[in-house]
Structure 1
Amino acid sequence: MPCPSATMVVWAAAWLNGAAASDDFLDALGAWAEAHDVRAADDDLAARLDLPGPGPQDTPVGLALLLPALRKAGVWDGELILPVAGDVRGTGGAGDFGRAALRHGEAVVLRSAGLGLVPHTVADGVVRWTVFELGEMPPAEHLPIGEAEHGMSSAMREAASTLIDLDIAKHRPGVRAEIAETVSNRPASSWPETVPQRSLRVLQRASEVEAILWVATDDAPGGALSASATRARVDALKPLFDSVRLARRSAVAEMVRILADQAQQS
């Protein structure tokens, strides 16, 4: 699903490149929770960034203080990662950051400063961002947005064909309404005005496809599949789940690239 980390990556890039004010950044993150706070994962990093540490005596600070910490650390880039079991690309392995990113299913990688951010909900209406120092990271992967968009469309066709061949696809009354409700119930993300329309289109399409996936994997009452049919359905849909994650990452990366290019040209 759309996630706070995607919003963080794009709006931090906009702010760092002079395309957005700090209030714009804070307003955009406000779609995900009424309050956000920040802390560092260890005391050394806390001292370096002037942020509270992980100890019980350290009170997390508001999100507004993250921005000067990022500027101080020399951040100029950002990357969205969406790790899942079996695919932890971008996490750098099994360190503290990698484990936290996998546990919460999302994170921000700031390679230029060797930092990673992981959000998670700590209370009703409160999201906490923990800042980690990254270890050795593999080179960043680049997936052109056109290739990602094509991959998602191809995976959707193949999944539909496989489900039909397996006789798993079935008519389900009201399915269109279920999908529309799934999409509408998600937070409405806002983006800087200058980001490319193609990225926005890919993100919207990814959300729609993901809504279809969740409905497809949610058995209606009385319609539960056998264990073998369930396994076949999972196998058929996994490439499509993967393609949605890749498309979302690619669209966000394209936004960040365009924002940086615009800053260099101004």
Structure 2
Amino acid sequence: MSAIRAATVLALWGGAFGEQRASADELLQQLAETGFNAGVRADDAVTAERTGLPGPGSAGAGTIDLLALLRESGTPELLLPVPGDLRGLPPKSTSVIAALDAGAAVLLPAAALLVIPTNGFWRVHDATGPEDGRGNSSAAGSVLEAELALDGAIRTATRRLMVLDIARDSASVREQIAAKMRDAAVPLPPGVRRSCSALLAKAISLQALLEVAQQHQTGAVSRHELGAVDDALRPLAAAVRFGRLAAVAHALVSRSHQEASPHHPAVHKNLNAYE
């Protein structure tokens, strides 16, 4: 059960629902498949009063209660906070720690709310910033910038690992990567641009590779070699994060630009490379 996958699904399908490209039933089905089915709960009493959601100590409301928030809250924005980069989060808020722990959150900008998938719940936090109702802008850049960053990071990581002569190409590693890709696949709502679909698929594929590599499923044996692997992969991890943010941020275009991709998970093409 991945908070990053859940937040990606909420941002994409919540945006499609708000633009009437996806039905309430479709949105609820996609949210149910994330595994975060314990309910919806406000993080504090003030947010509970603002939203009408149950607060701390109360039983969670049904996931259907997210629909009213999504309908009136503008385009959802995916956030992937990491230490040193908290863009999009309200400063000096308890939501910062929760979002860092989860690794993902979804900002509902018009409502100044932050939804964080945590321990099976969708927890709703206040996201009021000091001036305009939210924190700083997120780290999402353009699709082209993200593509270039990913391609450059792939080349750099590959070159470093080859120089270290510790890369491993085995059937078991490929199977692990393929399994992680299947688990992380994100079904796309109608209206997603092809370029964003391809970028998200690449980010998901590379995230699976990173997760396997970060478990040191390589030929590295010494502490020095393990550290070298981590150093080689760190820029790629940053580029993968940047790629997912850009893909989701630019996924939905106006109805007059129906450059839509088929209704399929964003991982379909790259999966074959690891099987």
TM-score (norm 2): 0.83
**Displacement after TM superposition at 1:202 (Å):** 1.2
1:128 to 2:118 alignment: no
Q: How does 1:91-170 map to 2 (within 5 A)?
A: 91-121=89-119, 127-136=120-129, 137-170=135-168
Shift of 1:27: 0.8
Letter in 1 for 2:65: L
Distance 2:164 2:91 in 1: 37
The residue that corresponds to 2:51 in the other structure is: 49
Contact 2:42 2:54 in 1 (8 A): yes
1:208-233 Cα offsets, whole Å, 9 max, x none, are 11222222233359x55222221111
Of 83-92 and 101-110, more deviation after overlay is shown by 83-92
Aligned to 2:29: 27
Number of residue pairs matched by the alignment: 251
2:198 corresponds to 1:228: no
Which one-letter code corresponds to 2:215 in the other structure? D
Query: Hey, what's the Cα distance between the residues in 2 that align with 1:157 and 1:16?
Result: 39
Shift of the 42–171 alpha-carbon distance from structure 1 to 2, 3 Å rule, reads: closer
- The alignment-based identity, stated in percent, is 33
Q: How does 1:68-83 map to 2 (within 5 A)?
A: 68-71=68-71, 74-83=72-81
Is 2:217 the counterpart of 1:217?
no
The 3 A distance-change label for structure 1 pair 170 and 17 is closer
Contact residue 28 and residue 191 of structure 1 kept, 8 A: no
Code of the aligned partner of 2:194: Q
- Report if the CA contact (8 A) 2:16-2:190 is conserved: no
Q: Residue type matched to 1:192 in 2? A: P
Contact 1:11 1:192 in 2 (8 A): yes
Report the CA distance shift for 1:15/1:163 in structure 2 as closer, same or farther (over 3 A). Answer: same
Instruction: Determine which of 19, 37, 40 is the counterpart of 1:38.
Output: 40
- Structure 1: gaps spanning 5 or more residues: 122-126
Match of 1:124 in 2: none
Distance in 2 of aligned mates of 1:113 and 1:232: 44
CA–CA distance in structure 1, aligned partners of residues 158 and 216 of structure 2:
17
Judged with a 3 Å threshold, the aligned counterparts in structure 2 of structure 1 residues 207 and 140 are, in CA distance, closer, same or farther, namely closer
Aligned-pair distance for 1:141? 4.2
Q: Could you tell me how far apart the structure 2 residues matched to 1:171 and 1:196 are?
A: 33
Whose relative contact order is higher, 1 or 2, with alpha carbons under 8 Å and at least 6 apart?
A: 1
Q: Which residue of 2 aligns with 1:208?
A: 205
- Counterparts in 2 of 1:47 and 1:245: CA distance versus 1, 3 Å: same
Structure 2 regions of 5+ residues with no counterpart?
Answer: 130-134, 259-275
Report how far residue 175 of structure 1 moved.
3.1
What residue number does 1:199 align with? 196
Identify which range, 81-90 or 45-54, moves more after superposition.
Answer: 81-90
Q: What is the letter of the counterpart of residue 162 of structure 2?
A: I
Q: Normalising by structure 1, what TM-score?
A: 0.86
Q: Which position in structure 2 is the counterpart of 1:64?
A: 64
SS of equivalent residue, structure 1 residue 117: strand
Letter in 1 for 2:17: W
Residues 101 and 41 of structure 1: CA distance in aligned 2, closer, same or farther (over 3 Å)? same
Counterparts of 1:91 and 1:85 in 2: how far apart (Å)? 12
Give me the whole-angstrom Cα distance separating, in 2, the residues matched to 1:87 and 1:236. Answer: 20
- SS of the residue corresponding to residue 77 of structure 1 reads coil
Shift of 1:177: 2.8
For the residue of structure 2 that corresponds to 1:3, the secondary structure is helix
**Which residue identity does 1:203 align to in structure 2?**
L
